[in-house]
Amino acid sequence: MSKTRTKPYHHGDLKAALVDGAVELIVARGVRHFSLAELSRRLGVTVAAPYRHFANRDELLAAVAVRALQAFGEALAAQSTETDPPGERLAAMAGGYVRFAAEQADLFGVLFGLGLDKKKRHPELREAYEDVEGTMAACVAELCPGDPDGAEQLTDAVEATAHGYAALLTDQPGPLDPADVDRAVEQAASATRALIDGRAAFRRSR
Amino acid sequence: MSKTRTKPYHHGDLKAALVDGAVELIVARGVRHFSLAELSRRLGVTVAAPYRHFANRDELLAAVAVRALQAFGEALAAQSTETDPPGERLAAMAGGYVRFAAEQADLFGVLFGLGLDKKKRHPELREAYEDVEGTMAACVAELCPGDPDGAEQLTDAVEATAHGYAALLTDQPGPLDPADVDRAVEQAASATRALIDGRAAFRRSR
DNA sequence: TTTACTTTGTAAGAGGCGCTAACATCGCAA
DNA sequence: TTGCGATGTTAGCGCCTCTTACAAAGTAAA
């Protein structure tokens, strides 16, 4: 949105082009086969050029992850219709979590399982992810009034469950069977409802 | 168990040595930094030698995964004391799932997130994993007599939840905080109890 | 025992990768 | 105009996976 303020140097905002190109390449071929060298070739630039803008490969991937996280957050927020009761909204978000992971499997793969050091090296990623968690937590808060501790545990549980369906679904290479995706989305929503209904179990173990 | 039937050739059962060495290297340094070349050097063999026994790097990793899966299965089975009620056994298994992932993070990393093509390329892995699922399913069957469909959904949900806690916990590089691990183990068990208590929600959506 | 065959390892190298240091170029600003 | 900092290139190091051609070691039949 807000780039190309002034026509930059040789290439013309190579930094942005690198991130854009990386997203394209990753979506096209998967994170696992992404290489800085191929990206450079595509942009008509030598393999050393990216290092003027990113300290290393992981830093570029972190920039891609920020993009992915943004799309992820939007996908989740889109599931949350204000009119629905909070439980259904939460279930829909869990489903949306899984659906995003399935439909944008490669971007999802940048967010997780890549071993990016979110805590120390890329705190902006951690923050962005906490925003996503916040969207869920807001929903849960309506369900557990006056029990912030239980709310947190329920939030974690819903997140873990959605993430588990998502991770197991996308662990396999190759294209996904749409029926599998739909089933996983449904199950994640159902499991969320079950967690809500059975949430008293969290109180028992404290 | 059943190797070294006859004294083999030059090295003396290099194939087994490769798998053993790979496990050691992976446990010591993480899957992400494992290389066939370093393993070969360690075994005093040229880098080409492993290709006499494994078509490629992934095939060796699949062999390592079989080992990991065996350890994983044993860790899960150890959680299942016959005397406990099935619900508590299931909760303990979920906790064991997470604890194994945390304590053997690198072996767990070989099982998931490596993109090994379990379905097509390494069906023996898929089978072994289905055994693990079977252990859980047996437990769930006691909880849901006469409802095989609901039992399957509950099994999937418990598996996904445990896997989600495990994956989120081990996504970060570096050593884990034992307190985080204990909390995740506890929460996985609690979430399992919640799923059991709220399992009627699975029936609602069919 | 000799010969032929199979299995296992080596030597050499192609092609890829991430990353670095030294050098060249370009735009801006003093 | 000159000088400087930002950006890109050239060249190269060291690592990787994997392949091909060759050598050695065991096995088994003649």
Q: How far apart are CA B142 and CA B134, in angstroms?
A: 13
Q: Which residues contact B183 (CB under 8 A, 6 or more apart)?
A: none
Q: For the segment B132-190, what is each residue's pLDDT rounded down to a tens digit?
A: 889 899 999 999 999 999 999 999 999 999 999 999 999 988 899 999 999 999 999 99
Residue B143 near residue B158, CB atoms below 8 Å:
no
* CB < 8 Å to A112, chain B: 113, 167-168, 171
Pairwise pLDDT comparison (B26 vs B120), residue with the higher score: B26
Predicted pLDDT at A10: 64
Q: Report which residue is nearest nucleotide C20 when distances run from CA to C1'.
A: A48
Q: Are A106 and A30 contacting, i.e. CB atoms less than 8 angstroms apart? A: yes
**Nearest C-alpha of chain B: how many angstroms from A14?**
29
Give residue-wise pLDDT tens across range A8-41: 556 779 999 999 999 999 999 999 999 999 999 9
Q: Is pLDDT of A115 > 50? A: yes
Identify the closest residue of chain B to A153 by CA–CA distance. B187
Distance A50 CA to C19 C1' (A): 11
Residue B206: the pLDDT is 64
Q: Which of A172, A194, A205 sits opposite B201 (nearest CB)?
A: A194
pLDDT digits (tens, 9 = 90+) for B80-98: 777 789 999 999 999 999 9
- Residue A8 phi, psi dihedral angles, 5° rounding: -75, -155
Q: Write out chain B residues lying below 8 Å of A198, CB-based.
A: 193-199
Nearest to B160 among A117, A161, A173 (CB): A161
Nucleotides of D under 7 A from a protein CB: 6-12, 15-21, 25-27
Question: In chain B, pLDDT over 90 holds for what percent of residues?
Answer: 75
Best residue in A197, A203, A206 for a mutation probing chain B (most B CBs within 10 Å): A197
Please give the mean pLDDT across all residues of chain B: 91
Whether the CB of A151 is below 8 Å from some CB of chain B: the reply is: no
| The two structure tokens encoding residue B179 | 């307190």
Position B7 confidence tier, pLDDT thresholds 50, 70, 90? very low
State residue A206's pLDDT score. 64
Q: Residue B84's pLDDT is what?
A: 85
Whole-angstrom distance, CA of residue B154 vs CA of residue B144: 9
Question: What percent of chain A stands above pLDDT 90?
Answer: 74
**Nearest chain B residue to A154, by CA:** B191
A37 touches strand D (CB under 7 A): no
Render pLDDT for A56-89 as a digit per residue (tens, 0 to 9): 999 999 999 999 999 999 999 888 777 789 999 9
CB distance B93 to B139 below 8 Å: yes
Looking at residue B8, what is its pLDDT? 53
Question: How far is the C-alpha of B104 from the C-alpha of A83, rounded, in Å?
Answer: 45
Please name the member of B167, B196, B201 whose beta carbon is closest to the beta carbon of A190: B201
Specify the long-range contacts of residues B34-38, CB closer than 8 Å, at least 24 apart: B34/B61, B36/B60
Contact A160 B188 (CB under 8 A): yes
Cβ neighbours of A171 in B, within 8 Å:
112-113, 115, 118
Q: Do A160 and B115 touch (CB under 8 A)?
A: no
The answer to whether the Cβ–Cβ distance between A198 and B193 falls below 8 Å is: yes
Candidate from A113, A201, A204 with C-beta closest to B113: A113
